[in-house]
Amino acid sequence: MRRVTPFMLIALLLASCNGWIIQPLPGNAPTPFLPFTQFPSVFTATPVVIGAATASPTPNISTHTASVTPLGTTATAITLTPSLTNTPSTTAAIALTVLGCDTSIDILHGMGEVTNAYVTLKNTGGVHLTNIKVTLLALDPGQQVHPDQTVQIPALAIGYQVTLKMTADTTYQQATPIQVEVTSDQGLFPREGAASCRDIGLFAPNPSGLKTPVPATP
């Protein structure tokens, strides 16, 4: 018992200084252990869709023109041109031409000098003319009305013409301006005339062809 007691006293003396038998090395204080904080994941609001089209796709519109190809033939492009239908004219019209005139003595009807006028009527309108009446008016009339001063034609078809001879009693050896008046069932047409009736001479129409409608010449 006497040997153990001194050693125990030495140990207690040493421990009463700072409580450590072996002194720790000087250094920084250890960082206290903090629990691991995990940051939350952030997700976008727009879902990701694999293989999806855009939000506003542009439609692809194809126009197909149907074509019909007969068997055994080669397809040919055909262009259709619209045809315009001409509405026939319903207007009555006459082209009046004074060919000329000459003078003579008409003893058969008891007249002295008479004036003979030759005219051509051409139906240039869009309707047939009926009951045509052509009258020769002389500006130096005589004392009587000649029976051939007015000539009548029953009808004149579209695109036809007729040559006429009319005679009027006129003053002897006086200049004879003339006018020709044309009427029909379709109305009254403008007058045509000549300020001075020129001598037709050898160019007078053949009497056999008078008052006979024929196809109009250009």
DSSP string computed for 30-96: PPPP-PPPPPPP---SSPP-TT---SSPPP-----------TTS--------PPPPPPPP----EEE
Asked if 114 and 170 touch (Cβ cutoff 8 Å), the reply is: yes
Token pair recorded at residue 191: 């007058």
Percent of the chain with pLDDT over 90: 32
Burial 46-57 (b: 16+ CB within 10 A, else e): eeeeeeeeeeee
Four-residue CA torsion sign, 180, 174, 204, 100? negative
Please report, to the nearest 10 degrees, the dihedral formed by the alpha carbons of residues 69, 71, 76, 79 taken in order. Answer: -50
What is the longest distance spanned by two Cα atoms in the chain?
210
Amino acid found at 52 = A
The predicted pLDDT at position 76 comes to 52
Query: Predicted confidence band at 5 (pLDDT cuts at 50, 70, 90)?
Result: low
Q: Is the pLDDT of residue 143 over 70?
A: yes
pLDDT of residue 17: 52
Question: What token pair was written down for 185?
Answer: 């069932």
Question: Model confidence at 8, in pLDDT bands (50, 70, 90)?
Answer: low
pLDDT digits (tens, 9 = 90+) for 158-188: 999 999 999 998 888 777 788 999 999 999 9
CATH superfamily for 99-203 is Immunoglobulins (2.60.40.10)
Would you state the pLDDT for residue 88?
Answer: 59
Alpha carbons 213 and 203: distance in angstroms, whole number = 19
Q: Is the dihedral of CA 155, 156, 162, 166 positive or negative?
A: positive
Higher-confidence residue of 165 and 89: namely 165
Rounded Cα distance, 94 and 183, in Å: 10
What CA–CA distance (Å, rounded) separates 202 from 196? 18
Residue 6 has pLDDT above 90, yes or no: no
pTM exceeds cut of 0.85: no
What's the pLDDT tens digit per position in 26-85?
555 555 544 545 555 544 455 544 444 444 555 555 444 445 445 454 555 555 555 555
The yes-or-no verdict on residue 149 having pLDDT over 70 is yes
Q: Reduce the DSSP state of residue 23 to 3 states and report it.
A: coil
State the average pLDDT for the chain: 74
pLDDT at position 209 over 70? yes
Q: Token pair of 5, please?
A: 């007691």
Nearest-angstrom CA–CA distance, 41 and 125: 97
Q: Report the pLDDT value the prediction gives residue 43, as an integer from 0 to 100.
A: 47
